[in-house]
């Protein structure tokens, strides 16, 4: 039933979604005030493990103390390593000293790293955990909407390079995901909007009814009223878990659907220098609109669907055009060069996630480059 209040009528204080994988299954727990009970939950999820917390300065200033107190109650806290906030921390220059710091804290093979933060911290800490002592356990405690509905679930970890986003990384599934939705109230409006783009993505790629629900209920998702925020997080997390279960390492193509808008978006992020000029979710909003418009031009998708997508993204304040990226605008050639670094490139052929309509995404592995070049030229000039 597409009603957040009804979905929560049972009065459950939390929801557990199981990511069922062979030998690597783990729960995603969604609820309020979970940080306060983190210590108790860690003893069940990672028995006998001491915990080193990785966070960024902004998140640590608010949530590290209560997390440390909860871990200390159970004798689990080993220490913390704090990095600078922002996409720039997903780099070799930050990864190396982070690993040194974790080793200096005394992290052993049987211990656990807790990633306390948004998508950047989750990707960076998860990658560090996957290579430290050839692999230690990791628990994701996402503090951003984007991380709670997407990046904290599924085991993808990594860092960026000047050639592209997430080009160096590993699959390293967490032992537990604790999504404390009470922390979302401290996000800035811009950060929340950016995360909301990933919520919209789940409707656009495979759940038209959920997208229609968001069109009607987005105001309550943003305000946090009536249980709709939690429902949006739960619905998105269930969709992510289902896809990960079907295609953990992106071998069958199912998981590639999660990249709707990402090939365009990652290129824009790289062009913007992984800076505050363009947040990840903002880039994905533009990318999803581009994917729908390109699908229309290829005769794959009804124009009305693309217009609905653009209208909804714009209505909640997300950018939809390349021209919205602050500063100098990219050329079609620059975007194509950056898109060619995408992880979905095989045999020098660019694959794109395109759509037959809202809720009907698919992977097109034979993208006509001449049409794509012409399309990007038009979009780069669109105001």
Domain ranges of the chain: 4-183, 189-380
In CATH, what number does 189-380 get?
1.20.1090.10
If 0-12 CB within 10 Å is exposed, 13-18 middle and 19+ buried, where does residue 264 land? Answer: buried
Pick the catalytic residue: 137, 230, 266, 289? 266
Q: Is 280 a catalytic residue?
A: yes
pLDDT per residue rounded down to tens, the chain (383 residues): 454 443 443 446 899 999 999 989 999 999 999 999 999 999 999 999 999 999 999 999 999 999 999 999 999 999 999 999 999 999 999 999 999 999 999 999 999 999 999 999 999 999 999 999 999 999 999 999 999 999 999 999 999 998 889 999 999 999 999 999 999 999 999 999 999 999 999 999 999 999 999 999 999 999 998 899 999 999 999 999 999 999 999 988 899 999 999 999 999 999 999 999 999 999 999 999 999 999 999 999 999 999 999 999 999 999 999 999 999 999 999 999 999 887 555 555 788 999 999 999 999 998 988 899 999 999 999 98
If 0-12 CB within 10 Å is exposed, 13-18 middle and 19+ buried, where does residue 349 land? Answer: exposed
Between CA 275 and CA 292 the distance in angstroms is 26
Pick the catalytic residue: 262, 289, 308, 343? 262
Q: Is 259 a catalytic residue?
A: yes
According to CATH, the topology of domain 4-183 is Rossmann fold (3.40.50)
Q: Is 172 a catalytic residue?
A: no
User: If we measure between CA atoms, which residue out of 288, 296, 339, 275 comes closest to residue 318?
Assistant: 288
Compute CA distances 268 → 157, 238, 326, 372, 380, whole Å: 20, 28, 11, 15, 11
Q: Name beta bridge partners: 349.
A: 346
Pick the catalytic residue: 259, 269, 289, 308? 259
CA of residue 23 relative to chain centroid, distance: 24
């Amino acid at each position: 039933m597409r009603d957040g209040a009804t979905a929560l009528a049972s009065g459950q204080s939390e929801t557990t979604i199981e990511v069922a994988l062979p030998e690597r299954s783990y729960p995603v727990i969604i609820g309020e005030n979970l940080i306060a009970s983190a210590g108790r939950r860690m003893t069940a999820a990672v028995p006998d493990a001491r915990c080193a917390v990785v966070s960024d300065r902004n998140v640590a200033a608010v949530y590290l103390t209560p997390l440390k107190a909860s871990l200390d109650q159970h004798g689990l806290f080993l220490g913390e390593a704090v990095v600078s906030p922002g996409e720039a921390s997903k780099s070799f220059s930050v990864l190396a000293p982070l690993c040194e710091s974790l080793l200096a804290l005394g992290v052993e093979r049987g211990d656990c790293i807790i990633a306390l933060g948004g998508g950047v911290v989750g990707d960076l800490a998860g990658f560090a955990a996957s290579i430290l002592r050839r692999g230690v356990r990791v628990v994701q405690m996402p503090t951003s909407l984007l991380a709670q509905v997407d990046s904290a679930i599924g085991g993808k970890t990594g860092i960026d390079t000047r050639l592209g986003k997430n080009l160096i990384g590993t699959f390293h599934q967490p032992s537990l995901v604790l999504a404390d939705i009470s922390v979302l109230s401290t996000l800035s409006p811009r950060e929340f909007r950016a995360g909301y783009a990933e919520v919209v993505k789940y409707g656009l790629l495979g759940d038209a009814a959920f997208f229609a629900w968001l069109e009607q209920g987005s105001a309550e998702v943003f305000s946090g009223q009536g249980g709709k925020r939690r429902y949006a997080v739960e619905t998105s997390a269930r969709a992510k878990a289902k896809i990960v279960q079907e295609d953990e390492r992106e071998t069958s193509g199912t998981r590639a659907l999660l990249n709707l808008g990402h090939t365009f978006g990652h290129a824009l992020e790289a062009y913007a220098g992984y800076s505050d000029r363009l947040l990840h979710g903002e880039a994905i909003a533009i990318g999803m609109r581009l994917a729908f418009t390109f699908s229309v031009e290829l005769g794959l998708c009804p124009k009305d669907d693309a217009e609905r997508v653009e209208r909804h993204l714009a209505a909640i304040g997300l950018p939809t055009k390349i021209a919205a990226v602050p500063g100098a605008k990219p050329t079609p050639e620059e975007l194509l060069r950056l898109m060619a670094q995408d992880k979905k490139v095989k045999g020098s052929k660019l694959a794109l996630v395109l759509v037959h309509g809202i809720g009907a995404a698919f992977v097109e592995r034979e993208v006509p480059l001449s049409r794509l070049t012409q399309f990007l030229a038009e979009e780069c000039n669109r105001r």
